């Protein structure tokens, strides 16, 4: 797939992986719609795009507010007349034990990470069907394939994305591609912004995250996956091999995770 002049809508675009994707796609000549809750952050990202900034449009939204997302999708379609690729990069992580986590916090995580992506996708698909083309890219996580400590609701939200979009892929025209991207430890602010048991932010970066792959390198691998149309991709260091361990030796995997000091 050639990305030049493709219309790409990125959520979670004001920081982390989403921000890194903005810069690389801008250099590649894509026309961007960038979204997150932070209007100020989005304009800072736009200002750092080195190519034609007239082709970078800011569209603030709150993924938790699912009632407004259909209108946001219609607004996005009006900017360039279509959306060729949507990258669901917006989300929030978690750092709390399952039994300590308020139910409202778990629901918040699910609303942002799962229902937000579903609402936007459902609003965009009719236009993709009409155009007989489109690409839906979901930034999931390795914990969308297995669960670990302190991430119960986060992991559940990512597992749900896999179930939904795998099913959707089987139902829609194969000309509309669906790619699920599963990063491991990527050096972003995701753990700083992770929600604790009562919904407050953790405000510290985990050691594994601090020593993880750069967001820029991760974005480069994601773009390769988009160009090749891959259905599912695992990105990271040795942690990505946990997917295979879970698949082929689930009992051993459970023992390792139970004993591991996971942050």
Q: What is the tens place of the pLDDT at every residue in 32-77?
A: 999 999 999 999 999 999 999 999 999 999 999 999 999 999 999 9
Per-residue model confidence (pLDDT) at position 186: 97
Residues 41, 110 contacting (CB under 8 angstroms): no
22 pLDDT above the threshold of 90: yes
In a domain, 262, yes or no: no
In a domain, 172, yes or no: yes
- 81: region left, alpha or beta (phi > 0 left; psi from -120 to 50 alpha): left
Per-state percent for the chain, helix, strand, coil, to nearest 5: 50, 15, 30
In a domain, 60, yes or no: yes
Q: Give the three-class secondary structure for 19.
A: helix
255: its two tokens = 């023992």
Q: What is the tens place of the pLDDT at every residue in 115-139?
A: 999 999 999 999 999 999 999 999 9
In a domain, 142, yes or no: yes
If 0-12 CB within 10 Å is exposed, 13-18 middle and 19+ buried, where does residue 158 land?
A: buried
CATH number at residue 26: 3.40.50.720
Task: Give Cα separations from 168 to 14, 43, 60 (angstroms).
Answer: 28, 33, 27
Between CA 171 and CA 50 the distance in angstroms is 39
In a domain, 195, yes or no: yes
Between CA 132 and CA 33 the distance in angstroms is 21
Between CA 140 and CA 4 the distance in angstroms is 25
pTM: 0.97
In a domain, 87, yes or no: yes
Model confidence at 260, pLDDT cuts 50, 70, 90, reads confident
Which residue range(s) make up the domain with 19?
A: 7-238
In a domain, 250, yes or no: no
Q: So which residues are the catalytic ones?
A: 154
Total domains present in the chain: 1
Residue range 236-255: mean pLDDT, rounded: 96
Per-residue model confidence (pLDDT) at position 147: 96
Closest CA to 50 of 28, 67, 79: 28
């Amino acid at each position: 797939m050639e990305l030049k002049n493709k219309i790409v809508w990125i959520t979670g675009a004001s920081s982390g992986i989403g921000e890194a994707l903005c810069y690389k796609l801008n250099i590649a000549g894509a026309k961007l719609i960038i979204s997150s809750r932070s209007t100020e952050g989005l304009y800072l990202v736009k200002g750092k795009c080195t190519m034609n900034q007239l082709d970078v449009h800011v569209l603030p939204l709150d993924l938790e507010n699912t009632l407004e997302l259909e209108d946001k999708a219609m607004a996005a379609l009006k900017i360039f007349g279509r959306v060729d690729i949507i990258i669901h990069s917006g989300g929030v992580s978690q750092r709390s034990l399952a039994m300590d986590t308020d139910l409202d916090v778990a629901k918040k995580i699910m609303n942002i990470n799962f229902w937000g992506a579903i609402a936007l996708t459902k609003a965009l698909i009719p236009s993709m069907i009409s155009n007989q083309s489109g690409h839906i890219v979901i930034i999931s996580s390795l914990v969308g394939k297995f669960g670990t400590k302190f991430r119960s609701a986060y992991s559940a939200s990512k597992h749900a994305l896999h179930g939904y979009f795998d099913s959707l892929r089987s139902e829609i025209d194969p000309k509309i591609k669906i790619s699920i991207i599963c990063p491991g430890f990527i050096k972003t602010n995701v753990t700083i912004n992770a929600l604790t048991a009562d919904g407050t932010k953790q405000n510290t970066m985990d050691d594994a995250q601090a020593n993880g792959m750069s967001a820029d390198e991760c974005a480069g691998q994601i773009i390769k996956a988009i160009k090749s149309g891959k259905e599912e991709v695992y990105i990271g260091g040795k942690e990505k091999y946990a997917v295979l361990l879970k698949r082929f030796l689930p009992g051993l995997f459970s023992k390792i995770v139970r004993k591991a000091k996971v942050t």
